[in-house]
Amino acid sequence: MDFELPAELVGYLAELDAFIDREITPLEQADDNIRFFDHRREDARTDWERGGLPNAEWEQLLAEVRRRADAAGHLRYAFPARYGGRDGTNLGMAVIREHLARRGLGLHCDLQNEHAIVANNVGLLLMLEYGTPEQRAEWVDGLASGTKFFAFGITEPEHGSDATHMETLAVRDGDDWVITGRKTWNTGVHIADADLIFARTSGGPGDAAGITAFLVPTDAPGFVVEEYLWTFNMPTDHARVALNGVRVPDAAVFGGEGRGLAVVQHFFNENRIRQAASSLGAAQYCIDQSVAYAKERKPFGKALATNQAIQFPLVELHTQCEMLRALIHKTAWSMDTYGTFAVSEQVSMCNYWANRLCCEAADRAMQVHGGLGYSRHKPFEHIYRHHRRYRITEGAEEIQMRRVAGYLFGFMGSKAPKGV
């Protein structure tokens, strides 16, 4: 077995670092843009008068970063070469996402809004996999450049983890579909051109079949954003929406009638392994910063680093990072080798553990840094508040553990291919 990363991937990390140092860091330091990363960050980023939405200047700055990254050939790394990408792999994306997060918060990577100079644009990958030729013609270029976007309408106010019990219904009416229901936690819908709404078109509650995905324009009559839900970490772009008899043509069906659950699972697997890598990078950042601080800080005349009470908790976290890194790399490689659905069990393992580990590392970093760590002059409290979200929103860790148990105890489908 060869655990060495491909030489071209290692070289690409150096290329990314050079780009960040040359173009992104100077932009971060210009025109007081650093205000978005200091102790004032929530006020700087948040438009309290517009329901707590991200500040327009903040989003414009992120758009400029994406433009620069695209011009430099980085934004589309994961996409096929024919769409301006580099045919990036799942392993490559996992390594890159960890690398960027390990550098800490900045314009190169701000996980609060899934922003990075290498885009985690799962929407485009889904479009290439499930979109009709007409849908691809309309969406691919905009998705690839970051100028078009669709949100995901999966969760409902009364149904979160039990997605197959959704109450949103779509009924045929001639050549159209009429959709009625409500969705919540529709992230990014304020800038979305469409919302990918999942609705039951046949079958009954709990049935996996009979759920259909629809690309619903956000300006369609009857599509109403009711509220943006304020969260532990602001700003918010998480909307609750109502669909009051929204009419869409049959051409809005995405991925085939009654087969929407496959789209959901594909999205989850692709997104979860990348999110796990980002959480791992953020956790390692917290550890790295804590080690450095413990060497410098000298209460009672000696460095904190000489105390086992400081050493041992960081050793345990660092050890967990090393073990998790190996599992993430193996799982991402397996997805590239055997397919996205071949290692759903391992994806769940990576994701729930990485998100939990990041919270533990951020909490420990706050403790090591003392009052300074608790303050908003250091990023650890922000990292904790943000990554605490992923222990719920990427599929609650209990649900992911249940998924692993399903494979472990034989309640779910066949195991991954031998050797995976």
Which residue type is seen at 51? G
Residue 55 makes CB contacts below 8 A (sequence gap 6+) with 44, 45, 46, 47, 235
Number of residues in the chain: 420
On whether the CB atoms of residues 58 and 31 are closer than 8 A, the answer is no
Q: Residue 200's Cα: distance from chain center in Å?
A: 26
For the stretch 155-163, contacts whose Cβ atoms lie closer than 8 Å and that sit 24 or more positions apart, written own/partner, are 155/183, 155/184, 155/185, 156/181, 156/182, 156/183, 156/184, 157/182, 157/184, 157/240, 160/396, 161/395, 161/396, 161/399, 162/206, 163/198, 163/211, 163/261, 163/264
Say whether 397 is catalytic: no
Q: Cα(116)–Cα(110) distance, rounded to whole angstroms?
A: 6
HEC string of 221-253 equals CCEEEEEECCCCCCCCCEEEEEEEEEEEEHHHE
Which listed residue (28, 394, 397, 398) is catalytic? 394
Q: Which helix (H) or strand (E) holds 215?
A: strand 211-217
Give the relative orientation of helices 90-102 and 260-296 as an angle to the nearest 10 degrees. 30
Q: In this structure, are strands 211-217 and 253-254 parallel, antiparallel, or unpaired?
A: antiparallel
Known catalytic residues are: 394
